[in-house]
Amino acid sequence: MWTVKYKPKRLAEVADQAEAKEKLLKWFEKWKPGRKAALLYGPPGNGKTCTVEALAAEKGLDLLETNASDVRSESKIERFLGRGVREASLLGTRGKIILIDEIDGMEASADRGGARAILRIIRESAFPVVLTANDPWDRSLYEVRGLCELIEFRKVPIRDAVKRLEYICGREGIKADPKVLHALAEKNQGDLRGAILDLETIAQGRKQVTLEDLEVLGKREKEADIFAALRGVFKSHSALSAKHAVSSVDMDPSEIFLWIEQNLANEYEKPEDLARAYEALAKADVFRSRIIHRQNWRMLAYMVDLMTAGVSQAKKEAYRKFTRYQRPEKLSFYSKTMRTRARVNQVLRRIASRLHCSTRKVKTEFLPYLFFLMKREEGFTGRLASALNLSEDELEMLSSFYR
Ligand SMILES: Nc1ncnc2c1ncn2[C@@H]1O[C@H](COP(=O)(O)OP(=O)(O)O)[C@@H](O)[C@H]1O
Ligand SMILES: [Mg+2]
**Average pLDDT by stretches of 10, the chain with 403 residues:** 94 96 96 94 94 95 81 74 73 79 66 77 92 87 93 96 97 93 92 92 86 75 82 89 85 92 95 97 94 85 95 92 87 77 88 90 90 91 90 89 80
Task: For residues 52 and 54, give the distance between their C-alpha atoms in angstroms, rounded to a whole number.
Answer: 5
Task: For residues 35 and 134, give the distance between their C-alpha atoms in angstroms, rounded to a whole number.
Answer: 23
Q: What is the pLDDT of residue 401?
A: 84
Q: What is the pLDDT of residue 9?
A: 95
Q: What is the pLDDT of residue 109?
A: 47
Query: Do 141 and 103 touch, CB atoms closer than 8 A?
Result: yes
Which run of H or of E encompasses 276? helix 271-294
Task: For residues 292 and 294, give the distance between their C-alpha atoms in angstroms, rounded to a whole number.
Answer: 6
Specify the CATH architecture of the domain 158-209. Answer: Orthogonal Bundle (1.10)
SS3 for 84-136, per residue? CCCCCCCCCCCCEEEEEECHHHCCCCCCHHHHHHHHHHHHHCCCCEEEEECCC
Task: For residues 160 and 381, give the distance between their C-alpha atoms in angstroms, rounded to a whole number.
Answer: 64
Task: For residues 221 and 218, give the distance between their C-alpha atoms in angstroms, rounded to a whole number.
Answer: 5
Cα(152) to ligand 2 centroid in Å equals 13
Query: Do 8 and 47 touch, CB atoms closer than 8 A?
Result: yes
Cα(90) to ligand 1 centroid in Å equals 34
Q: What is the pLDDT of residue 205?
A: 80
Bridge partners of 129, per DSSP, are 98
* Ligand 1 and 8: CB distance under 6 A: yes
pTM over cut 0.85: no
DSSP 31: -
Q: Give the contacts of 39 (CB within 8 A, at least 6 positions apart).
A: 130, 131, 132, 133, 136, 144, 145, 148, 149, 150, 151
Ligand 1 probe mutation, 3, 6, 9, 50, most atoms within 8 A of CB? 50
**DSSP-derived pairing of the beta strands 208-209 and 175-176:** parallel
Instruction: Name the closest ligand to CA 165.
Output: 1
In the chain, % helix, strand, coil (3-state, to 5) comes to 65, 10, 30
Q: What is the pLDDT of residue 112?
A: 64
Which regions of 37-95 does DSSP assign to beta strands (E)?
Answer: 37-41, 62-67
Measured from the CA of 4, which atom of ligand 1 is nearest?
25
Query: Do 277 and 234 touch, CB atoms closer than 8 A?
Result: no
Task: For residues 142 and 139, give the distance between their C-alpha atoms in angstroms, rounded to a whole number.
Answer: 5
Measured from the CA of 164, which atom of ligand 1 is nearest?
4
Instruction: Name the closest ligand to CA 65.
Output: 2
Which residues have CB atoms below 5 A from the ion given as ligand 2?
A: 49
Cα(31) to ligand 1 centroid in Å equals 25
CATH number of 2-152: 3.40.50.300
Q: Give the contacts of 160 (CB within 8 A, at least 6 positions apart).
A: 15, 16
* Ligand 1 and 21: CB distance under 6 A: no
Could you give the C-alpha distances from 160 to 52, 62, 132, 165, 326, in angstroms and in order?
19, 29, 22, 9, 31
* Ligand 1 and 7: CB distance under 6 A: yes
Q: How many Å separate Cα 185 from the centre of its chain?
A: 21
* Ligand 1 and 41: CB distance under 6 A: no
Helix (H, G, I), strand (E, B) or coil at 208: strand
